[in-house]
């Protein structure tokens, strides 16, 4: 079997359950190296609270440069109550914002998939949720989270004023819309764009620019526009009407969390953050589970590693052009769930509860 070129993967386990779930990802990467001659070169380093504890900084320049040189970054989780009182610039979450901003990761892909084995875990009726498979594409580096001016300032009458600025440009809107349209081509050729064009000028621009791009370059894609508050309602009423949803940073933050909770299994959902292609066709990227660092269960070997494992699967697909291997890994996860194996967070009657490491081993055993 011919070996492919070395590919650098940077693993950043982070805090809480991050190191435990990342251990299982590392085992799977090593399986692919040994059995599929893929020659991944693994680097591992500190991020978030773990980095702050050692370096008094949530991410060092050295780690940041390693991220720049990697084919993909896979992150575990960051944060925890012990860091809540740090000044804003030192908090673990700032590492994520720095990576997203400096790597120019402008598109966040959040799949919301209802696994057939876990339909009962959703708070919605099975007929509404069964078979759900939607993708939310969230703009990640613009909008109200990054706009200037921002801050809190004193005003008259001994009051204070909080300021945040919501802005978008044509290029910022169209580059994320292009990601959504390209994804739709591989799915059901259907995109829903969400904004608040009824009350926000930036929303009017968003709607116009997405429509303009569709008319010029994606005539075969079915595009509909929906107000973001209506989208929040429709996700609960009839989520299967959607395929790909594209929206801004703020609405994407909220709608993607809502969609994730529809599935009833947050511990199974991955995410990807993608940048633009460089002159060599390489895309900068970072992959991470949707769940947090769960410090209350850290170190107990009971965390669910599936979301982080499926984040690796997204990396194989979107950054490494290894669609076949990604599908193989997805099927291995499905097969283990079919066998009735469950970690504590998704345990139900008549299933077999297994540890973090047992779940990783079971998934590896299904790889062929």
Residues 278-327: tens digit of each pLDDT: 777 788 999 999 999 999 999 999 999 999 999 999 999 999 989 999 99
Residue 229 is among the residues annotated as catalytic for this protein: yes
Q: What kind of fold does domain 133-262 have according to CATH?
A: Isopropylmalate Dehydrogenase (3.40.718)
Percent of the chain with pLDDT over 90: 85
Catalytic (active site) residue 215:
no
Rounded mean pLDDT of 58-76?
A: 95
Q: What is the CATH number of domain 1-109+263-368?
A: 3.40.718.10
296 in catalytic set: no
- The reply to whether 338 belongs to the active site is no
Summarize the confidence of residues 71-88 as an average pLDDT.
Answer: 94
Catalytic residue among 45, 90, 98, 145: 145
Bridge partners, 286 (sequence order)? 73, 273
Mean pLDDT lowest among 47-61, 235-249, 264-278: 264-278
Q: What is the predicted pLDDT for the residue at 5?
A: 59
Q: Taking all residues of the chain, what is their mean pLDDT, rounded to a whole number?
A: 94
DSSP characters over 20-66: HHHHHHHHHHHHHHHHH---EEEEE---THHHHHHHSSSS-HHHHHH
Rounded Cα distance between 198 and 212, Å, is 19
Provide CATH 3.40.718.10 ranges for the chain.
1-109+263-368, 133-262
Would you say 247 and 193 are in contact if contact means Cβ atoms under 8 Å apart? yes
The active-site residue, picked from 45, 133, 182, 253, is 253
Give the per-residue pLDDT at 1: 46
Active site residue 278: no
Among the listed residues 26, 196, 214, 317, the single catalytic one is 196
Catalytic pick among 45, 133, 257, 361: 257
Among the options 39, 53, 215, 229, which is catalytic? 229
Q: pLDDT digits over 85-139, tens only?
A: 999 889 999 999 889 888 999 999 999 999 888 898 888 999 999 999 999 999 9
């Amino acid at each position: 079997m011919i070996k492919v070129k070395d590919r650098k993967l940077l693993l950043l386990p982070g805090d809480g359950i991050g190191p435990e779930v990342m251990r299982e990802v590392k085992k799977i990467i090593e399986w692919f190296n040994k059995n599929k001659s893929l020659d991944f070169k693994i680097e591992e380093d500190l991020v978030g609270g773990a980095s702050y504890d050692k370096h008094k900084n949530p991410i060092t320049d050295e780690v940041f440069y390693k991220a720049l040189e990697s084919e993909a970054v896979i992150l575990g989780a960051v944060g925890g109550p012990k860091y809540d009182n740090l000044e804003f610039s030192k908090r673990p979450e700032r590492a994520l914002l720095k990576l997203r901003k400096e790597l120019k990761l402008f598109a966040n892909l959040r799949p919301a998939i209802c696994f057939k084995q876990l339909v009962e875990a959703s708070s919605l009726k099975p007929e509404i949720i069964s078979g759900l498979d939607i993708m939310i594409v969230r703009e990640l580096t613009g909008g109200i989270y990054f706009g200037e001016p921002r801050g809190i300032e004193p005003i008259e009458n001994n009051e204070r004023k909080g300021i945040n600025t919501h802005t978008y440009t044509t290029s910022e809107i169209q580059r994320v819309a292009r990601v959504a349209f390209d994804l739709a081509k591989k799915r059901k050729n259907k995109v829903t764009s969400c904004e608040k064009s009824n009350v926000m000028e930036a929303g009017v621009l968003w709607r116009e620019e997405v429509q303009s791009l569709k008319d010029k370059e994606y005539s075969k894609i079915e595009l509909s526009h929906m107000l973001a508050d209506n989208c929040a309602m429709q996700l609960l009423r009839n989520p299967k009407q959607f395929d790909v949803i594209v929206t801004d940073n703020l609405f994407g933050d909220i709608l993607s969390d809502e969609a994730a909770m529809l599935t009833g299994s947050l511990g199974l959902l991955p995410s990807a953050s993608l940048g633009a292609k460089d002159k060599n066709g390489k895309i900068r990227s970072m992959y991470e589970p949707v769940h947090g660092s769960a410090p209350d269960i850290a170190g107990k070997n009971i965390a669910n590693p599936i979301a982080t494992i499926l984040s690796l699967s997204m990396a194989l697909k979107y950054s490494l052009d290894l669609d076949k291997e990604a599908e193989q890994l997805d099927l291995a996860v499905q097969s283990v769930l079919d066998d009735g194996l469950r970690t504590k967070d998704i345990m139900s009657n008549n299933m077999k509860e297994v540890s973090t490491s047992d779940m990783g081993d079971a998934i590896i055993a299904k790889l062929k």
